[in-house]
Amino acid sequence: MQERLAQLTWFHQIALLEKLKSPKERLVYAAATIEHGWSRDILAIQIETGYRKRVGKSVNNFQRTLPKPLSDLANQTLKDPYMFDFVELSGDVNERRLERSLIEKLRSFLLELGVGFAFVGSQVHLEGEGEDFYLDMLFCHLRLRCYVVVELKTTAFKPEYVGKLQFYLSAVDDLIRDRDAERDAASCNGVIAEGGSTYRGLGSSRLAATSWYARPSWR
């Protein structure tokens, strides 16, 4: 523990001592700070929003679809819930308004997603069988070396969302992913919906995960 704390500034160490009582939790947050490059203020926010309790908690099928240790790495890249309190919206919010707000606050959104995510685009156009389709958001994960399709929903999770995303994954793999590059893995998808989900029928043919988001400042 002392070795990890030695890599942090004095201000980081003070935050760990003041905000956390458990030495184990301090060690977890110290390691996460080093991995993610958090400033002292960001570390404080992550502690206040319960980062340790949220990371690796999404409902997913990674254990069935990926070999170890890749399945563990994939699981640790996701959170449940995601905290969208940096988004300032009021009234009824639809998916497009939420998406635009996240794009405007892209730096904060990437920070909340976690280390390894790189933004590719929003409303990414795909054409299949003569029809046009648009992905809400597309990311590339540098550690997993795969594309991550994100669908935003301002309602509670519904099982039919999975079928739509499975189609999107096939399209991304066929039209965007470089199949000749050995390092490029099959694409992964995720639904970030408002309201929790205990639905676990995600199947085993494609990587899939569901998480929910909290929006305390714009309810």
- Structurally, the chain folds into a number of domains equal to 2
* Same-domain check for residues 118 and 45: no
* Same-domain check for residues 88 and 21: no
Alpha carbon distance 181, 219 (integer Å): 44
* Same-domain check for residues 66 and 4: no
* Same-domain check for residues 20 and 90: no
Give the structural domain span for 22.
1-52
* Same-domain check for residues 60 and 156: yes
Question: Which pLDDT score is estimated for 78?
Answer: 86
Alpha carbon distance 179, 162 (integer Å): 24
* Same-domain check for residues 47 and 71: no
* Same-domain check for residues 72 and 31: no
* Same-domain check for residues 61 and 151: yes
* Same-domain check for residues 88 and 134: yes
Per the prediction, the chain carries an average pLDDT of: 82
Q: How many other C-beta atoms are found inside a 10 Å radius of the C-beta of residue 102?
A: 24
* Same-domain check for residues 163 and 178: yes
Percent pLDDT > 70 in the chain is 82
* Same-domain check for residues 21 and 114: no
* Same-domain check for residues 149 and 182: yes
Q: And the tokens for 123?
A: 């409303």
Encode pLDDT of 135-172 as tens digits.
999 999 988 888 888 888 887 777 777 778 788 888 88
Whether the per-residue pLDDT at 49 is higher than 50: the answer is yes
Residues 110-135: b if buried by 16+ CB within 10 A, e if exposed:
bbbbbebbebbebebebeeeeeeeeb
Can you give the pTM of this predicted structure?
Answer: 0.77
